[in-house]
Structure 1
């Protein structure tokens, strides 16, 4: 390698380590253009080469590792006496290895040094060329023209042939402003006229359609730089880039956005986008229509201002969860319109993120639930009135039936009176069960950790003394379920006894504990539960297929709302085995606290 003019270029070689063998080999292998320095310790080598250019480091076994640990990119040639070290060194990143045991070590070192130095120089040259190319690309555009103050081309770069279909000489002497699309011509001429009135170095940009030699129109993005007073140029330098595809994509995107907005505006649900501070950024026409605010009003409004006052803190908490936890939230509340009307809505919010996953806002939808709220109110009133009247009337029926049974001697009349009393008791029990269902499932309260022994013990109090009851000792674990789990289990016990004609019905309770699930299995020796009673739990009821009561539904609803499953099998006692499979508490709490 030589400098310009043929003078040899000096190369810097450093010997790392105190090996005399290394010193001797390098001295014999070095050429005249190599400047050789030796340092005993790796840290001295690193201090010497810091911030300087070094072409090669010849290191013995004591120095190569610390050097590469500190500067992995340094060109290191290892002089290896230990054969077992060679593979390790190569894997660690040494550039070359010369085995000291090799009889040709001197010539090998000379060759290796030359190779390492040449490779490093190639990298330096490549980096310089890359820098030059990057500089060229940074200051170049697709094509270039120089226009005089009238817009006439006095120079065109060769790239115009590919870009516009004309040879550069064809465009010389033509006024390029005349080749601009009629719809863009006035704006382009104004931009050019304003630009040439400015001093040299001033520039302006324009995007317009320019006619191609084949008659088509191409979108051009141009930058004009005034150099009229520059004696070497004497005109306006126009750098030109074909952006037809970009403009077409943007046009398609605008069309798509218009299509999406049209769809959103036609939806019965409200749609909106909030920034990270909770202010409206985008919305559909339905939101304006529902709230009674125009676009100008909504632009300056915070989202919670549209919510009824008593729910604003709750909605703000949900919004915070969307922003900070990137979670999807759903809440039921009511909009407060400009006229003061309250409209129930189910609101959904999800995080809006950029390409890096950073939250930049909230995208939300809302559905009017006014009809559902009115229906739920009607059902609530009907449910309360029916339960109240059912309880009062059945108590009257039961009382009269009991009095009638005690006041007549006719066996048939006594039997009929007892039938009336039993039916009344069943109706009364149905009303009580309906109240339990309403209390248990109203609002679908959260699951809570519950001790198995407490759940089973509380439910077992409903078992009559006549029942042959065998309850296994509950394991010391907790399940997660609704607080009404004991009521549901009590219903399981009641069904096991009430539908069993035996004088001493048998009921057993067993448990199965898995890492993530707890099973309570209740077995009896009574009649099998009819298949159609169990089928409706999976398939739902219809006019032609329905269950005979509310008990199994209540049990199933509580277990399902607790995140569990209900299953039915034949028991070893010959009756039914009803199993409640429930989630095991993730973090079991002590009974004391």
Structure 2
């Protein structure tokens, strides 16, 4: 007969059945968080004890190996199931994803395969008969390397689980620490027992107990009885402290760790519990507990108690300033449905309040209008700035159709635009229309429209509008001035040039036929006539130089600079062009810039050794023209750009003014500085139209 049961076998079977019974209770309460992993632990303990029961009554090594196989199924399952349970109990079960669970099962499955094939190798152990016969059979066993590696892994996993469990007890408070303490005691008893055996200390040898798989050869092991003690302790924790109810997890996760203050008030209106966030708000938990909530809970009376948990605003003065909370109160009931108190939650919305207040003030103090229309064009919101811009109170326009305030000549376009894009939720466009203000005047408004009808926070067409009435008037005045200026330029070009040309021709005839006595006078007249011609040319150029540049092309700066040099009388001066840039510009106007800068350098300096250099600015967003002449004194650098200012009696004083007007017309900026050689330097910074460096340009 291969199996002879005795007292040890029946005791171990009783332990196995006891743990299965506890597992059954846990499974019946599987709807409770943590019940399933707890049941898995108890099943592993049951298998562990069952395997030892089979081994204790074995009379052959084959039966003994079957018991060892059953024993190791439970032994290998304990570390992952314990970690599974502790992660759930401590609120860290989110860590146990599929990948992590698979990693936990790798080591047990590999070791189980080694145990299953143990007769074919000595990696796990070798069995050389029995040192004691049934009913307390003990095999003569020598443990292999995989046994010790698995033992280290198992103890490490179990100790890690107990460490996490201990942290829960440290962080929890009051009666939950007792529950955690019982669980630690129940788990540590078999662990300590097995450690004593592994290191050669077997105090129960004299009792002739059964062998545990981890025990050295010849030692008796009380670990299975230790598991029985653990079962009893867990039963106490189960029924006395509601272990499977996992109340600590709920409180720890939903109350202790939540950042919003939570207050629990009983039916008499006394504060009975608070979380750490509420403690910080009250400054003293112990002094507050037991006192009327109306005395210690901020704005307690203003929090609605309608059972719906609806919120109300609460402002609390703290050392760091005002804090804003969205508060709610919920009635707490027992299992019978009777009210036992109230739960107050103060959700900190200080950051949101600051952002809302900031944007509210920006909207209120902005000179622009923000208007929201529904799909029919009815105004559902208008910013307070409407009073400043149009003279209406915001309430006067709510519910009014916008088209009613639009000029009759503009209504058709506005209606067509709204109807065309009312279903286009990505639509954005700009419009201009005349709007009737409160005084009965028409104001020209430019609006940027965005269709946000599908946005649940807006549900409308948003118009950002600006009053451009005065700007349009200025533009019209400027257009009239430009028209008059063009007419004046035409008069200068035609009516003044014709008599001037006649006078120059007559002077040339006089110069050829007059005697030496009057030659100097005639020469002076010719010179003044030529000067008048130069002034007329510069005046015409200046009149047109400030016009806005509307058409530009990509121009190679080096080419324009060299062409302009050829059209100016530069004497013996030298031009050095180092720039290799391309810029979007009006070619003729840019050439005029270089011509006037060249003339300025030549006319104000000796041209024998004069060098004029053109190159890009270091930031590659502009260029400069400089010379090696005498330069411009610092106190005169702003004056030289004024119309009519000149230090040369032969000059017109318009050249640099023309340069500045053309530069501004491009949207650029002109500044006067000093070159490295002490000469004049004119820098053109191209803000509106960046200049690109083209190293390979030809």
Distance of aligned partners of 1:3 and 1:156 in 2 relative to their CA distance in 1, 3 Å threshold: farther
Structure 2 residue aligned with 1:426: 534
Question: Are the counterparts in 2 of residues 274 and 363 from structure 1 also a CA contact under 8 Å?
Answer: no
Residue 402 of structure 1, CA deviation: 1.6
Residue 421 of structure 1, CA deviation: 0.7
Matches within 5 A, 1:41-120: 55=83, 70-71=99-100, 74-75=103-104, 108-109=152-153, 111-119=155-163
Counterpart check, 1:164 vs 2:208: no
Of 411, 421, 431 in structure 1, the residue corresponding to residue 519 of structure 2 is 411
Rounded to whole Å, the distance in 2 between the matches of 1:438 and 1:310 is: 38
Matches within 5 A, 1:89-488: 108-109=152-153, 111-119=155-163, 128-129=246-247, 131-133=249-251, 142-143=264-265, 145=267, 159=272, 161-165=291-295, 239=342, 241=344, 264=365, 269-274=367-372, 281-283=381-383, 284-289=386-391, 295-296=397-398, 334-338=432-436, 343-344=443-444, 363=464, 365-370=466-471, 371-396=473-498, 398-406=500-508, 408=510, 409=514, 410-411=518-519, 413-439=521-547, 442=548, 444-445=549-550, 449-464=554-569, 467-468=571-572, 470-472=574-576, 477-481=581-585, 483=587, 484-488=589-593
Counterpart check, 1:491 vs 2:621: no
What's the secondary structure of 2:250's corresponding residue? helix
Question: Are the counterparts in 1 of residues 621 and 690 from structure 2 also a CA contact under 8 Å?
Answer: yes
Of 602, 611, 615 in structure 2, the residue corresponding to residue 511 of structure 1 is 615
What whole-Å deviation, never above 9, does each CA across 1:298-348 have from its counterpart, x for those lacking one? 5656999999699989x99xx9xxx9899xx9x9x8531249976456778
Question: Are the counterparts in 1 of residues 581 and 616 from structure 2 also a CA contact under 8 Å?
Answer: no
Question: Are the counterparts in 2 of residues 481 and 562 from structure 1 also a CA contact under 8 Å?
Answer: no
Rounded to whole Å, the distance in 1 between the matches of 2:550 and 2:583 is: 16
Residue 425 of structure 1, CA deviation: 1.4
Count of residues in Structure 1 that have an aligned counterpart in Structure 2: 456
Structure 2 residue aligned with 1:521: 625
What whole-Å deviation, never above 9, does each CA across 1:492-533 have from its counterpart, x for those lacking one? 22333455686x8966444358573564535376x7556555
Rounded to whole Å, the distance in 1 between the matches of 2:426 and 2:295 is: 55
TM-score, normalised with respect to structure 2: 0.46
Structure 1 residue aligned with 2:658: 554
Rounded to whole Å, the distance in 2 between the matches of 1:165 and 1:481 is: 75
What whole-Å deviation, never above 9, does each CA across 1:24-79 have from its counterpart, x for those lacking one? xxx999996962569xxxxxxxxxx9xx95759xxxxxxxxxx9994389558989
Distance of aligned partners of 1:223 and 1:114 in 2 relative to their CA distance in 1, 3 Å threshold: closer
What's the secondary structure of 1:71's corresponding residue? helix
Structure 1 residue aligned with 2:74: 35
Question: Are the counterparts in 2 of residues 144 and 239 from structure 1 also a CA contact under 8 Å?
Answer: yes
Rounded to whole Å, the distance in 2 between the matches of 1:350 and 1:275 is: 10
What's the secondary structure of 1:467's corresponding residue? coil
Question: Are the counterparts in 1 of residues 572 and 610 from structure 2 also a CA contact under 8 Å?
Answer: yes
Distance of aligned partners of 1:459 and 1:143 in 2 relative to their CA distance in 1, 3 Å threshold: same
Q: Which has the higher strand share?
A: 1
Rounded to whole Å, the distance in 2 between the matches of 1:207 and 1:515 is: 57
Distance of aligned partners of 1:259 and 1:72 in 2 relative to their CA distance in 1, 3 Å threshold: same
Residue 451 of structure 1, CA deviation: 1.1
Structure 2 residue aligned with 1:171: none
Matches within 5 A, 1:6-17: 9-11=42-44
Residue segments in structure 1 that go unaligned for 5+ positions in a row: 14-26, 39-48, 57-66, 80-99, 146-154, 167-178, 193-201, 210-218
What's the secondary structure of 1:478's corresponding residue? strand
Question: Are the counterparts in 1 of residues 370 and 465 from structure 2 also a CA contact under 8 Å?
Answer: yes
Residue 424 of structure 1, CA deviation: 1.5
Distance of aligned partners of 1:279 and 1:522 in 2 relative to their CA distance in 1, 3 Å threshold: farther
Distance of aligned partners of 1:244 and 1:584 in 2 relative to their CA distance in 1, 3 Å threshold: closer
Rounded to whole Å, the distance in 2 between the matches of 1:511 and 1:123 is: 71
Distance of aligned partners of 1:556 and 1:54 in 2 relative to their CA distance in 1, 3 Å threshold: farther
Rounded to whole Å, the distance in 2 between the matches of 1:69 and 1:237 is: 41
Distance of aligned partners of 1:288 and 1:203 in 2 relative to their CA distance in 1, 3 Å threshold: same
What whole-Å deviation, never above 9, does each CA across 1:516-562 have from its counterpart, x for those lacking one? 3564535376x755655522379x8999x9x9733223323444645
Structure 2 residue aligned with 1:534: 637
Distance of aligned partners of 1:28 and 1:454 in 2 relative to their CA distance in 1, 3 Å threshold: farther
Structure 2 residue aligned with 1:569: 674
What whole-Å deviation, never above 9, does each CA across 1:363-396 have from its counterpart, x for those lacking one? 5544542453354245324432332333345414
Distance of aligned partners of 1:69 and 1:555 in 2 relative to their CA distance in 1, 3 Å threshold: farther
What's the secondary structure of 1:9's corresponding residue? helix
Rounded to whole Å, the distance in 2 between the matches of 1:577 and 1:486 is: 18
